[in-house]
Amino acid sequence: MMWLAQPLLFVAILITNGHAQNRAGPPIVDLGYAKYLGNRSFPDTVAYLGLPYAEPPLGERRFRAPVPLNTARISREAKGAVIDATKYPPFCVQGTSGDREVSGAGSEDCLNLNIYAPSSANKKSNCYVFGNPANWPFDHWIHQSPNVVIVSIYYRLSSFGFLATPELSDSKLGDLNAGFKDQVEALRWIKRNIATFGGNPNKVTIDGVSAGGSSVHLHLVANEKERLFSGAIAQSNYRTSVPTPEQQKVGETFSLMNTTDASHPAII
């Protein structure tokens, strides 16, 4: 993605100089509030997996806009130790694609991202952002073209991220478009921290395929009041009409009224 379950990659061309990391030692990055140990996938490639960018959206935070990461909590819980970032985190809960996939797999505690960087990256390297990358590692892309830093983001999907009902217009109950707001919060984290991985925070390109392409389009027109990216790529864009919460509720009511099967779980 950027924002999708099935991302593809466009590669930026920028030859880098200098070294952000010591190739001879372990690949450890220091973000100031915590140190993370990554994987040296190839001699010229390091992957940092499962770094949180927001607070876990659990309990009272379910169906709400993401809360910025409490870096003091991360630092306190680490107790000075280097945090292991060598394993992929759980992906966000999602439904089936209809192709005999298991529905509902994943975790609600999923607001993390993966970062793939060339070991020679410096603070002038371009940065590409993708999304929900459970089956899309990018180590080999960096190895083939070590001139860009790639970030893949996990954000809430389905009803956890995009529940649309008029009741959520009341902020006491929740927030609309929580999954899209996850994307925005991730871009803010990238803006603050990507230079530590050798990326240029002023040259961030978001990339999406299919539903992810739709997210890219929405970011282009959203009033985010911040310059969080400088380029955008929307591939094979899939976008249906987006109803208002009121329209969606009317549609759901109409659907239930026309359900004639008394055994249907929606019929009481």
Please indicate whether residue 254 or residue 92 has the higher confidence score (pLDDT): 92
Look at domain 28-257 and name its CATH class. Answer: alpha beta
For residue 10, what pLDDT is reported? 30
For residue 49, what pLDDT is reported? 95
Range from 23-27, 77-81, 238-242 carrying the lowest mean pLDDT? 238-242
For residue 127, what pLDDT is reported? 61
Going by C-beta distance under 8 Å and a sequence separation of 6 or more, which residues neighbour residue 32? Answer: 71
Residue 112 pLDDT exceeds 90: yes
Average pLDDT score over the chain = 79
Task: Kindly list the domain boundaries of the chain, sorted by start residue.
Answer: 28-257
Q: Where residue 193 falls among pLDDT bands split at 50, 70, 90?
A: very high
**CA distances for 14 relative to 70, 85, 148, 175, 201, angstroms:** 34, 27, 7, 40, 14
Average pLDDT over residues 231-259: 69
Average pLDDT over residues 216-229: 85
* Residue where the block lists tokens 């529905």: 103
- How far apart CA 194 and CA 15 sit, in angstroms, is 17
What percentage of the chain reaches a pLDDT higher than 70?
72
**Helix/strand/coil for 237:** coil
Range from 96-100, 141-145, 208-212 carrying the lowest mean pLDDT? 96-100
The residue count for the chain: 268
**Helix/strand/coil for 233:** strand
Residue 4 pLDDT exceeds 60: no
- Identity of the residue numbered 37: L
Please indicate whether residue 268 or residue 109 has the higher confidence score (pLDDT): 109
What percentage of the chain reaches a pLDDT higher than 90?
36
**CA distances for 66 relative to 47, 211, 234, 259, angstroms:** 25, 21, 24, 36
For residue 3, what pLDDT is reported? 35
Please indicate whether residue 20 or residue 141 has the higher confidence score (pLDDT): 141
* Residue where the block lists tokens 């927030």: 175
For residue 241, what pLDDT is reported? 67
Which of 13-27, 32-46, 132-146, 156-170 is predicted most confidently?
Answer: 32-46
- How far apart CA 236 and CA 238 sit, in angstroms, is 6
Range from 9-13, 103-107, 169-173, 177-181 carrying the lowest mean pLDDT? 9-13
Residue 15 pLDDT exceeds 60: no
Q: Tell me phi and psi for residue 115, to 5 degrees.
A: -125, 130
For residue 258, what pLDDT is reported? 57
Q: What is the pLDDT of residues 134-177, one digit of tens each?
A: 567 888 888 888 888 999 899 998 889 888 888 887 888 889 89
For residue 114, what pLDDT is reported? 93
Average pLDDT over residues 242-250: 72
Q: Where residue 56 falls among pLDDT bands split at 50, 70, 90?
A: very high
Q: Where residue 34 falls among pLDDT bands split at 50, 70, 90?
A: very high
